[in-house]
Structure formats: C-alpha cells, structure tokens
Amino acid sequence: MTDPKQKLTPAEIDDAQLGEWRREDETLVAHFDTGDFTTGLEFVNLIGDAAESLNHHPVLTLTYDRVKLRLWSHDVGGITIRDIELAKVINERAVQLGVDFAR
C-alpha cells in the first residue's frame, strides 16, 4: 500500500496513466471542455462529492465552457497517491458526463 503522505516521483505519476493530466511544478493540472456552463456545474458538483468522500480537495475554476483543475496534497506540498486517486475519479465522472479533456 502506497504511503498517502509520500510524494510520488515523476515516473510514478506518469505510470498512473491519467490521460491528459500534466505535472506542473508539484501539482497535477487538467482542463476539461464541458461545452456549456450547466454541464460544468454538474461536473463540479460530482467532483465536489468525490472530494468530500475522499477528504481530498482540488482547486478548480469553472467558466462557461471549461473546468480547470489543480491537485496536490497540501499537507506535504506535492503529489501523492491521494491526488492520483482523486484524478482517477474525476476522469470517471468526466466519462459519465461525456466531458473530454480540452484540446
């Protein structure tokens, strides 16, 4: 079991196969094209539910056609398995809504 307080290496993060999430400094960033504000709001609410159940929260920006997300483990100042797990759930919710990564 991976230590939830252990920062992951770039290779470990890349091996997680998160799609178009990218490392930016010590955070994970992804932009999703929601197409419209209502879908974005629905997506944000699904993400919020996941964050609350995992007790691990993203920084997110909701605009009329995009949801932009930044994940990191605040307590260790970097990317841990907790961020990978949340990113995977976010990807699942995106599929559920038919939302894709922004090009």
Residues that bind ligand H2B (CB under 6 A): 55-57, 73-75
Distance (Å, whole) CA 72 – CA 27: 5
| Complex with ligand H2B: residue 28 or 99, whichever CB lies closer | 28
Distance between CA atoms of 96 and 88, rounded to whole angstroms? 12
Q: Where are the beta strands (DSSP E) in 19-65?
A: 22-24, 27-33, 59-62
Decide whether 31 or 57 has the Cβ nearer to ligand H2B.
Answer: 57
- For residues 17 and 55, which CB has a smaller minimum distance to ligand H2B in the complex? 55
Least spacing, CB of residue 65 vs ligand H2B, in Å: 25
Separation CA 1–CA 81 (nearest Å): 10
Give min distance, CB of 39 to ligand H2B, in A: 24
